[in-house]
Amino acid sequence: MREFNETLLSVENISLSFGAVKALTNISFEIKKGEVLAIIGPNGAGKTSMLNVINGFYHPQEGVITFRGEKRRQMKPYDAARQGIARTFQNVALFKGMSTLDNIMTGRNLKMKSNILSAAFYLGPAKREEIEHRAVVEEIIDFLEIQAIRKTPVGRLPYGLQKRVELGRALAAEPDLLLLDEPMAGMNLEEKQDMSRFILDVNDQFGTTIALIEHDMGVVMDISDRVVVLDYGRKLADGTPDEVKNNQEVIEAYLGVGH
């Protein structure tokens, strides 16, 4: 059992609605620095909405988010990225016309500074910068074991590999907080095992804090330090995998009507 004390991000009393649909109601929880937190819940529970609120894509009507001690209600996705929050999407959101390498290179854009003129003439600094970041990206490619598809346009890759490339793009930003929306959806057992291993390695080797949404309870129990359960936009439970597994309300939500 790993112990985490420092809070990296906390959400307090977050409420978000779309017209009459209440996607999130009064949600509060914390993400501790260095942990792997799983957010689970039935379809439509508000899991994706929660991630969207955290990285500034949705703006909640109520509540406060505190990231690294700084309080805010909302921010632009661009600013979230700059402050060290990266994510992947439930439906792969890669740049289809670009190669694996270029997709992952885009993840480093915030660290690349060369201006239009020096980039156009590929002058010393621009060239050095490009090569320097290429080296980092190659490390990520090695880490994710996708060397063979380096130059392949991502649109041609099978779904499982696309998910892996998307993880690579998020990692390229060297985030402090990594949000993963169903990173293993649609994968077979072997691919799930690979992905679980990558997630744990990222957490272990780079100390990246991870919040992930996952439906496969086996995976959740295996890789997460803590679990937050959502249902109909409310928080049902929050605790270690064992606590959550034995929580009566959670069992009912999962076995109850319609699920």
Partner 1 sequence: MLYREAGQFKTSYAADQAIFPLAQDRIGMAIILAVAFIAIPAVANEYWLQTIMIPFLILSLAALGLNVLTGYAGQLSLGTGGFMAVGAFAAYKFATAFPEMNIIVVFLISGLISAAVGIVFGVPSLRIKGFYLAVATLAAQFFLLWLLVKYPWFYNYDPSGVISAPPIDIFGFAIDTAVSKYMLTLIIVSVLALATKNLVRSHIGRGWMAIRDMDIAAEIIGFRPLTTKLSAFAVSSFLVGVAGAMYAFLYLGSVEAAAFDITTSFNILFMVIVGGLGSVLGSFIGAAFILTLPIFLDNFPRMLGFEISVETVTHLQFMIFGALIIFFLIVEPHGLARLWTITKEKLRAWPFPY
Ligand X SMILES: Nc1ncnc2c1ncn2[C@@H]1O[C@H](COP(=O)(O)OP(=O)(O)OP(=O)(O)O)[C@@H](O)[C@H]1O
- Under the rule (CB under 8 A), what is the footprint of partner 1? 55, 57, 76-78, 80-82, 86-87, 89, 93-98, 102, 105-110, 112, 114, 116, 119-122, 126-127, 130-131, 134-135, 138, 169-170, 173
Binding partner at 43 among Mg ion, ligand X, partner 1, none, C-beta below 5 to 8 Å by kind: ligand X
| Length of the chain (residues) | 259
Q: Does 44 bind ligand X (CB under 6 A)?
A: yes
Say how far apart CA 252 and CA 259 lie, in whole Å: 10
Both tokens assigned to 37: 């937190």
105 binds, among ligand X, partner 1, Mg ion, none (CB under 5 to 8 A by kind): partner 1
Helices (H), ranges, the chain: 47-54, 77-82, 100-106, 116-120, 124-143, 159-172, 189-206, 217-223, 241-245, 248-255
Residue of 21, 11, 7 lying closest to 62 (CA atoms): 11
Site string for Mg ion, 41-70 (x = CB under 5 A): -------x----------------------
**Cβ atoms within 10 A of the Cβ of 21, count?**
11
Supply the minimum distance, in Å, between the C-beta of residue 54 and ligand X. 12
Chain contacts with ligand X (rule: CB under 6 A): 18, 21, 23, 41, 43-49, 90
Residues lying near Mg ion in the complex (CB under 5 A) are found at 48, 90
